[in-house]
């Protein structure tokens, strides 16, 4: 299967307008004034999405869909938010958040929001998409989305499987073929904590939409995205090892994602709190920008770890962070250069201590001069004991990245 | 004038919401949570109007609507669903639905739909 | 069969605090506050007709819709002019965001002759070797020029520097409050 940038744009637009519908429904039903902050097309695996649900303790409502396209949609929100939602939907019911009426309210909210999300896709394809009844899921550690979905849809009275799908391997099929996830972040005006709508189509379904929207000449085999995602994970892994070697503190890669977003969506992904770190420019195939950011506490912890027992002045601490930035960037990009059999030059780091969204704003603005959408690579490296977290954002030039993709998959040409 | 209404929806929350919304103007005489119950209750209660969810377990709202229409061609069925796809609306028309409300609805929409399909006069 | 759809609008005009995204603008009435975050090289253009109680805030990325495009894919290709979502068309560029916002404000009851402008942002945080540099400064120039073209007086500015800004614009008073990562808030 091949993917092209035109299709990715179509995906992004459909997902965004679907999320707009869903946000409108949320506002109508609960009075929470919601709007769509960012819509991302993620080259993520289903396991990545599940991990996010578990780690962030998200409560979810699932709806399966089939027909013109098939897969799963998920409405996810923080546990605390679930309680305030129940209160808005069914006043008083939040006293007993596990009651049938409380979960019924959440399920129906999911049904209405996700139903509205799907409508635009059906109309775009000029065909019908059937949706299943909603399932309420609290994902525990050790459970996978697939377990839950299979349990609810196939072990009950066959309410869903029998009519809509005749193969009981439906869940497994999604998993093995899953290549894209559409992630929509909805935020309310007063609070940062938000809602997420995920759409996880099957590979066949992605293909259906590519056929309707795409530009075959421009297409890149989907495996290329997968191998690039792999390359990003390896780069993040190397950066994590280098951080551990320098600081003497164990670190893990928490997140490593490749996504496709409207350029203006990138700064909106970041907080407006202060972050410290470095910004670097890289050039080669591809060129682009990278920002390595720490929250203020993490920046202090890292500087302390680099200069144990030293009473370093602020300039020295700044220099230590710059050096960390250099090393993390090299760890992150060296693997790319090797896989792509090219060299990627890295500029000296510029130290930053500013509003996070304002730090990436000039990087995105440079890209915006020639592109409407960007491939965003974001990774998070963290210590298990939460001593520090390091966020990495890389923004390669879109056309140069496509050239790099060609390098990864020469047989495609 | 007040009408007798059968509310069909698999969500207890939604049935409650509809009941509250209709209580001042109409009388909810029955509630069903799937298409099979809907048909049974329709035979039993002969309501003036049915609000019918589409996506339900056991039997969906489109099939239930077809069956109610074949039992009683003069019945009034209003689809009440989160699905707003054009294709699905065509299916509803084919099944004989008299109106189509998309969720989330507002009270005036629901009351207007009932007046439109059953008429304001007795 | 008649279809009854409720108005699922995401119109925020009734709320007290209205968020303006990147490449976005919004209009508010007295009693509300317009906010936008993370201006680096981007500019925030705050317009108000205090007598009518109508205010507007734009967060624009690039100076001009026309000459930034290179006609070779990306922002210049056939699909480049479509807004990527529900944000107002043209909000990405200073020279199209200003007339768009003025028009929306007039529709909400503002009188063009009473509208005054405040401008913030357009900083130079980095010097990139690849870019042709100075986008922040060019954004500021474009804003001043465009405001002049539409005869909107610019009453206060807080532009340039090498730091980011977040804005909060009081639609009742027309005061623009500017927050940086460090240091006191600054009102113009």
> C81-126: per-residue pLDDT in tens?
444 455 677 889 999 999 999 999 999 998 999 999 999 999 998 8
Chain A nearest-CA residue for B80: A112
Compare CB distances from A24 to C9, C37, C75 and report the shortest one's residue. Answer: C9
Stretch C148-177: mean pLDDT: 93
Pairing status of strand C17-19 against strand C33-39: parallel
All residues of chain C having their beta carbon less than 8 Å from the beta carbon of residue B106 are 6-7
Cβ contact (<8 Å) for B89 and C1?
A: yes
Cα dihedral sign, A269-A272-A273-A274: positive
**Fold type of domain A220-412:** Chemotaxis protein chec (3.40.1550)
Residue of B106, B115, B118 best to disrupt the C interface, most CBs of C under 10 A = B106
Q: How confident is the model at residue B37 (pLDDT cuts 50, 70, 90)?
A: very high
Mean pLDDT, chain A, whole residue set: 78
Q: What per-residue confidence (pLDDT) applies to C175? A: 93
Dist. CA A44–CA C133, nearest whole Å = 34
User: Within 10 Å of residue A208's Cβ, how many Cβ atoms?
Assistant: 17
How far apart CA B40 and CA B6 sit, in angstroms, is 11
H/E stretch holding A283: strand A274-283
Q: Distance (Å, rounded) from C-alpha A28 to C-alpha C7? A: 8
pLDDT band of residue A155 (cuts 50, 70, 90) is: very low
DSSP B57: S
User: Among residues C26, C27, C42, C142, which one is catalytic?
Assistant: C42
Chain A interface includes C34 (CB < 8 A): no
The band of A178, judged by pLDDT with boundaries at 50, 70 and 90, is low
**Mind listing the pLDDT tens digit for each residue in C44-79?**
999 999 999 999 999 999 998 865 443 333 343 333
Q: Is pLDDT of A143 > 60?
A: no
Residue A348: both structure tokens together: 């000296």
Which of C92, C125, C136 minimises the CB distance to A264?
A: C92
pLDDT value at B65 more than 80: yes
List of chains touching B (3+ CB pairs within 8 A): A, C
Q: Where are the domains of chain A?
A: 2-214, 220-412
- Lookup: tokens for C94: 């200073």
Q: State whether residue C5 sits within 8 Å of chain B by CB.
A: yes
Q: What is the pLDDT of residue A172?
A: 41
Q: Is C73 on the interface with A (CB under 8 A)?
A: yes
Is residue A367 scored above 50 in pLDDT?
A: yes
**Token duo for residue A245:** 């070697």
Region A172-184: mean pLDDT is: 60
CB within 8 Å of chain A, chain C residues 75-134: 75-76, 79-80, 84-87, 92, 123, 125-126, 128-131
Q: A55 and chain B: CB distance < 8 Å anywhere? A: no
Residue with the bigger pLDDT between A102 and C144: it is C144
Do C48 and C58 touch, CB atoms closer than 8 A?
Answer: no
Distance in Å, alpha carbon of A114 to nearest chain B alpha carbon? 8
Say if A28 is an interface residue toward chain B (CB within 8 Å): yes
Tell me if residue C42 is catalytic: yes
User: What CA–CA distance (Å, rounded) separates C17 from A362?
Assistant: 26
pLDDT at A164: 34
* Residue A163 confidence (pLDDT) above 50: no
Residues of B in contact with C10 (CB under 8 A): none
Among A2-6, A393-397, B74-78, the least confident range: A2-6
Q: Regarding predicted confidence, which is higher, C175 or A234?
A: C175
Chain A hits for B56, CB-CB cut-off 8 Å, are 133
**Predicted local confidence at residue C103, as pLDDT:** 92
Query: Does residue A201 register a pLDDT over 50?
Result: yes
Torsion region of A146: left, alpha or beta (phi above 0 gives left; psi -120 to 50 gives alpha): alpha
Q: Among the listed ranges A166-175, A259-268, C30-39, which one has the minimum average pLDDT value?
A: A166-175
Highest-pLDDT range among A72-86, A302-316, B80-94: B80-94
Q: How far is B121 from chain A, CA to nearest CA, in Å?
A: 31
Is the pLDDT score of B92 beyond 50? yes
The most confident of the ranges A148-157, C24-33, C126-135 is: C24-33
The answer to whether A359 touches C164, Cβ cutoff 8 Å, is: yes
**Which class does domain A2-214 fall in?**
alpha beta
> What is the average per-residue pLDDT within A373-400?
87
d(C-alpha B63, C-alpha A364), whole Å: 51
Q: Which among A255, A294, A268 has a CA at the least distance from the CA of A38? A: A268
Length of chain A: 413
pLDDT above 80: residue A91: no
| Lowest mean pLDDT segment, chosen from A67-76, A213-222, A353-362 | A213-222
CA dihedral B83, B84, B88, B94 (to 10 degrees): 110
pLDDT at A309 over 90: no
The model's pTM is: 0.79
Residues from chain B that touch A126, judged by Cβ atoms under 8 A, are 87
8 Å CB contact of B89 and C2:
no
Alpha-carbon distance of A272 to A412, in angstroms, equals: 42
The CA distance from A341 to A358, in Å, is 34
Instruction: Give the list of residues 6+ apart from residue B57 with CB closer than 8 angstroms, or none.
Output: A133, A157, A159, A160, B10, B34
pLDDT at residue B88 tops 70: yes
Q: Judge whether residue C15 has pLDDT over 70.
A: no
Q: Which of A107, A112, A130 sits opposite B103 (nearest CB)?
A: A112
Mutate to test the interface with A, among B9, B10, B12, B13 (most CBs of A within 10 A): B13
| The pLDDT of residue A157 is above 50 | no
Q: Is the pLDDT of residue A300 over 90?
A: no
Q: Rounded mean pLDDT of A321-344? A: 83
Interface check for C140 against chain A (CB to CB < 8 A): the answer is: no
For C5, the closest of B92, B93, B102 (CB atoms) is B102
Residues of C in contact with B104 (CB under 8 A): 6, 8
Which pLDDT band holds residue A275 (cuts at 50, 70, 90)?
Answer: very high
Domains, in order of start, for chain B: 4-117 (3.40.50.2300)
C41 touching chain A per CB within 8 A: yes
Distance from CA of C178 to the nearest CA of A (A): 12
Shortest CB distance from B13 goes to which of A89, A114, A133?
A89
User: Across all residues in chain B, what is the average pLDDT?
Assistant: 89
In this predicted structure, what is the pLDDT of residue A161? 31
The minimal CB distance from A105 to the residues B13, B85, B88 is found for: B13
Instruction: Say whether pLDDT at A277 is over 70.
Output: yes
pLDDT for the residue numbered A166:
35
Q: Which residue on chain A is closest to B92 by alpha carbon?
A: A128
Q: Does C1 touch chain B (CB under 8 A)?
A: yes
DSSP A284-351: SSS-EEEEEEE-HHHHHHHHHHHSTT----HHHHHHHHHHHHHHHHHHHHHHHHHHTTS--EEPPPEE
Same fold, A2-214 and A220-412: yes
What chain C holds in terms of domains, given with CATH numbers, is 17-187 (3.30.1330.200)
Chains that touch C (3 or more CB pairs under 8 A): A, B
Indicate whether A383 pLDDT > 50: yes
Contact A61, A73 (CB under 8 A): no
The pLDDT, as a whole number, for residue A142 is 53
Model pLDDT, residue A162: 29
Count the neighbouring beta carbons within 10 Å of the beta carbon of residue A237: 18
Q: In chain B, whose CA is at the least distance from the CA of A27?
A: B104
- The pLDDT score that the predictor gives to residue A169 is 41
User: Residue C100: what pLDDT?
Assistant: 92
A 133-172 near B (Cβ less than 8 A):
133, 157, 159-160
* The pLDDT of residue A315: 84
């Amino acid at each position: 299967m091949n993917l092209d940038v035109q299709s990715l744009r179509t995906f992004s637009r459909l997902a965004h307008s679907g999320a707009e519908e869903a946000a409108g429904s949320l506002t109508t039903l609960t009075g929470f004034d919601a709007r769509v902050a960012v819509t991302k097309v993620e080259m993520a695996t289903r396991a990545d999405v599940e991990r996010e649900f578990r780690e962030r303790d998200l409560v979810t409502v699932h709806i399966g869909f089939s027909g013109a396209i098939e897969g799963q949609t998920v409405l996810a929100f923080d546990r605390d938010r679930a309680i305030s939602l129940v209160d808005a939907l069914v006043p008083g019911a939040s006293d007993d958040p596990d009651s049938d009426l409380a979960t019924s309210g959440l399920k129906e909210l999911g049904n209405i929001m996700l139903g509205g999300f799907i409508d635009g896709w059906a109309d775009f394809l000029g065909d019908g998409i059937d949706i299943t009844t909603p399932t309420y899921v609290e994902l525990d550690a050790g459970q996978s989305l697939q377990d839950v979905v299979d349990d609810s849809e196939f072990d009950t009275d066959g309410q869903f499987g029998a009519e809509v799908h005749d193969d009981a391997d439906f869940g497994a099929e999604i998993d093995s073929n899953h290549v894209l996830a559409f992630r929509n972040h909805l935020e309310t005006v007063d609070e940062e904590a938000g809602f997420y709508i995920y759409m996880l189509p099957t590979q066949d379904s992605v293909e259906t939409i590519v056929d309707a929207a795409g530009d075959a000449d421009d297409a890149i085999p989907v495996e290329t995205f997968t191998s690039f995602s792999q390359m990003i994970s390896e780069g993040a892994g190397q950066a994590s090892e280098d951080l551990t070697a320098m600081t003497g503190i164990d670190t893990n890669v928490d997140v490593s994602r490749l996504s496709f977003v409207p350029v203006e969506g990138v700064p909106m992904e970041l907080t407006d709190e202060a972050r410290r770190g470095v910004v670097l420019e890289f050039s080669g195939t591809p060129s682009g920008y990278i920002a390595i950011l720490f929250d203020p506490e993490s920046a202090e912890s890292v500087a302390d770890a680099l200069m144990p027992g030293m009473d370093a002045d602020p300039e020295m601490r700044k220099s230590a962070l710059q050096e960390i930035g250099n090393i993390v960037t090299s760890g992150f990009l060296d693997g790319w250069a090797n896989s792509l059999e090219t060299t990627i030059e890295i500029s000296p780091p510029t130290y930053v201590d500013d509003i996070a969204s304002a730090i990436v704003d000039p990087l995105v603005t440079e890209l915006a001069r020639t592109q409407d959408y960007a491939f965003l690579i974001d990774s998070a490296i963290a210590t298990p004991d939460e001593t520090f977290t390091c966020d990495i954002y890389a923004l390669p030039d879109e056309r140069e990245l496509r050239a790099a993709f060609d390098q990864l998959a020469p047989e495609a040409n | 004038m007040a009408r007798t209404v059968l509310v069909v929806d698999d969500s207890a929350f939604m049935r409650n919401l509809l009941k509250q919304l209709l209580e001042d103007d109409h009388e909810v005489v029955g509630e069903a949570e799937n298409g099979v119950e809907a048909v049974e209750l329709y035979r039993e209660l002969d309501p003036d109007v049915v609000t019918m969810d589409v996506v339900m377990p056991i039997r969906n709202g489109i099939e239930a609507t077809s069956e109610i229409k074949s039992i009683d061609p003069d019945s009034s069925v209003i689809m009440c669903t989160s699905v707003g796809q054009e294709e699905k609306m065509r299916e509803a028309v084919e099944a004989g639905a008299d109106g189509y409300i998309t969720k989330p609805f507002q009270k005036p929409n629901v009351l207007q739909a009932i007046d439109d399909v059953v008429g304001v006069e007795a | 069969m008649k279809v009854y759809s409720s108005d699922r609008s995401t119109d925020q005009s009734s709320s007290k605090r209205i968020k303006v995204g990147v490449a976005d603008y919004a209009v508010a009435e007295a009693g509300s506050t317009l906010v936008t975050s993370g201006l680096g090289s981007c500019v925030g253009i705050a317009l108000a007709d205090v007598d009518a109680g109508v205010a507007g805030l734009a967060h624009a990325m690039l100076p001009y819709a026309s000459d930034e495009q290179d006609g070779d894919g990306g922002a210049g290709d056939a699909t480049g002019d479509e807004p990527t979502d529900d944000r107002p068309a043209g909000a990405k560029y200073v020279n199209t965001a200003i007339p768009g916002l003025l028009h929306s404000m007039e529709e909400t009851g503002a009188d063009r002759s009473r509208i005054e402008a405040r401008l913030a942002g357009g900083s130079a945080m980095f010097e990139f070797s690849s870019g042709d540099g100075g986008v922040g400064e060019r954004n500021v120039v474009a804003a001043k020029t465009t405001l002049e073209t539409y005869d909107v007086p610019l009453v206060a500015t807080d532009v340039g520097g090498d730091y980011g800004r977040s804005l909060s614009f009081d639609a009742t008073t027309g005061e623009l409050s500017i927050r940086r990562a460090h240091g006191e808030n600054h009102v113009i």
